[in-house]
Amino acid sequence: MVIAARKIEAFSIDPSEKWLFAGNVSGQISVIDIDKFSIISEVQAHTGIIQAIAAHPQLPYIAALSTDRTTSIWRYDPAGNLSLVCQVLLRDIKASNDTVDIPYVQSTSQAIGFHDKERRLVTRSGNAGVLELTFDDSGNWQLLYCVRLHGEADLISARFIKDTDMVLTGSIDGQLVLSQKGEIIRYWQLNQNGNVHWAEYVEDTTYLLASDMRCIVRFDVNSDEEPLIGPIFTRDDLEHVTYNQTSKRAFVASFDRKIYEINPETCVPTRIAFKPPFKCRWIKTLERSPSTILVQCRDGGIYKANVDTGACVASIKETPDSLWTGVNALDGSILLTGDGEFLLSVKTVSINPAARKPVFATSRITLDVQPGSYTKRMVQHPSTGHLFLGRTNGDIDIVDHDIVKHLTNLGSAIRDIDINPYQAEVFAACEDGHIYKIHGETGETLLEYMSPNGRPMWSLAYSPESDLISFAERTGHLSILSGRDFSPVVTNIVSGRPKRIKWVNEHILLYNKLDQLYKYDLNTNKETLLVDSVGNTIEDFIWDAGKQYLVFISYTSNVYLCDFNTGDLINWIPDQMDYSKGLLWVETANHPDLYPLDFLTFGRSGTAHHFRIHDEKILALGPVEFFHQR
């Protein structure tokens, strides 16, 4: 089995810029020689994901923040070897100003930072309080305070203001708080629904702010003037900004798979400096080599690139390729693909009679597709058997008996595709805000729709029974148009991170808004909340043929079982170590002795996990072992 245990989630570099310290999904810290770009040593620091690493600006310490709700502080020697100073359990530290008990929550917070000169650290408690502590080389630490500064919002980022005791913290809902010793000095509300990921020092008391607003904010923590909010320019969440004090250049990382250079005065983007293979978060340019940028990519790798040429100079990646999409194929197999240039086939070849469990044979089929991009969505035409691949470089490719035929390029990353099973027609949703209807044999554009505000399109679904196409913007609206001429039918449904849209029948549509699932009935023109908030975004959902159960996965890597009709939660279970992205039923048509309600999950871990619905519980049956080369 392959899992993403070596996936790098965060990094920081030491003041001399000799060492890069990288934290991974399974709690290891790797010490990387930046010039040689190789791992020289590793320590097991945590038993959860390391979400953030901070390096002290002057002293030889690093600190790691983990989802096991601890922070660890390490000392490094001139050779880069790490020794543990102390480990602090954050789970049970309570905010002193809480009037009721606030339970701890699982968080992907990046809130950790050192004081510029002293042995002091600011970070997040287990229930989102802001806490500050001191430590010494003997392993002793002392809590200075823990207070709640952001109400019910989760704490996402924290740092000391340069050369002061003041702390700047950002929350999940666009709040910024400047405080000192736990007392609020100033407060800003930037927006209502965007993680404040990072505040980057520029000069004096001026900082650049990266958040899910998809723009850069420049502000002075001592000024009464309103922050300068730059234009929206990324197609997905804006994660990080780095400013180089030597070159005076600033660069931005986004989930849209691009590193942008911006004007640090106006916050306006000037160019694309580097195109990593996947979405990215942590970035840093070197002061001793300002054209060199280090990029943490969410494919689990660390990349060293030149921002002037856009070339990748070196990389470290020890993770399997992600699986983004899959289909129940006409021959009874399950086909999966995503990163890389291959297609995975999972086929039931026999049955374990005692467990009524399928015995899978797996094969890996090499595909002649454009490298450097990946397949976001795949569908199969039921009459021709052709597989249509929608890829992040804008390609739509057809796979016919393992032979790849290029159909067209739409000029923008494709987020979703669907087909008309009765005609040679393909529908595609693109990140540049376009919806297309494409001829499935010639690649000719038959119809085209553009988001009025240029918002990225994230999902779509076609109903052949009613000839209706539904699609949704990342934030904005979900619309239903005629598949014949794209004339509007419904255009006023509010959307929010709509990862999946699916037609139940010709008049019932299911779709997610963030972590909720909704139903729209065309007969009544009524939208109904089906499944209430489960925490973070719903990634995919399926239902059984008898419409008894609804199964879905979320960005929290949990699998949920609900009543199909009422949406009531029945049971849930954790899934994989890394993010889950898709669900498929195990087909029983060719094997009637199989248990009828088995399904697979798949995602960024590069493998599939087998589950069963039994006694209205979700039972984990283990991973599907990959791969046999073909």
Domain boundaries, the chain: 202-317
What confidence score (pLDDT) does residue 345 get? Answer: 94
356 pLDDT above the threshold of 70: yes
286-344 per-position pLDDT tens digit:
999 999 999 999 999 999 999 999 999 999 999 888 999 999 999 999 999 999 899 99
What confidence score (pLDDT) does residue 629 get? Answer: 39
What confidence score (pLDDT) does residue 192 get? Answer: 63
Phi, psi of 91 (to 5 degrees): -55, -40
577 pLDDT above the threshold of 90: no
CA 436 from chain centre, in angstroms, equals: 25
> What CA–CA distance (Å, rounded) separates 285 from 305?
9
What confidence score (pLDDT) does residue 417 get? Answer: 98
202 pLDDT above the threshold of 60: yes
The order of strands in the sheet holding 334-338 is 323-328, 334-338, 342-352, 357-366
Going 374 to 321 to 274 to 267, the CA torsion angle's sign is positive
Residue type, 223: S
Tally the residues of the chain: 630
Q: What is the mean pLDDT of residues 359-368?
A: 92
Q: What is the mean pLDDT of residues 576-598?
A: 93
448-478 per-position pLDDT tens digit:
999 998 999 999 999 999 999 999 999 999 9
What confidence score (pLDDT) does residue 1 get? Answer: 41
Q: What is this structure's pTM?
A: 0.87
CATH of segment(s) 202-317:
2.130.10.10
231 pLDDT above the threshold of 80: yes
Confidence of residue 3 (pLDDT cuts 50, 70, 90): low
Helix%, strand%, coil% for the chain, nearest 5 = 0, 55, 45
55-66 per-position pLDDT tens digit:
999 999 999 999
CA 487 from chain centre, in angstroms, equals: 34
Comparing 63-67, 361-365, 507-511, the range with the smallest average pLDDT is 361-365
For 400, the token pair is 């016919």
What confidence score (pLDDT) does residue 576 get? Answer: 84
Beta partners for residue 188, in sequence order: 176
> What CA–CA distance (Å, rounded) separates 534 from 179?
32
Comparing 12-21, 184-193, 576-585, the range with the smallest average pLDDT is 184-193
> What CA–CA distance (Å, rounded) separates 268 from 58?
32
Where does 444-590 have alpha helices with state H? none
Confidence of residue 535 (pLDDT cuts 50, 70, 90): confident
3-state SS, residue 140:
coil
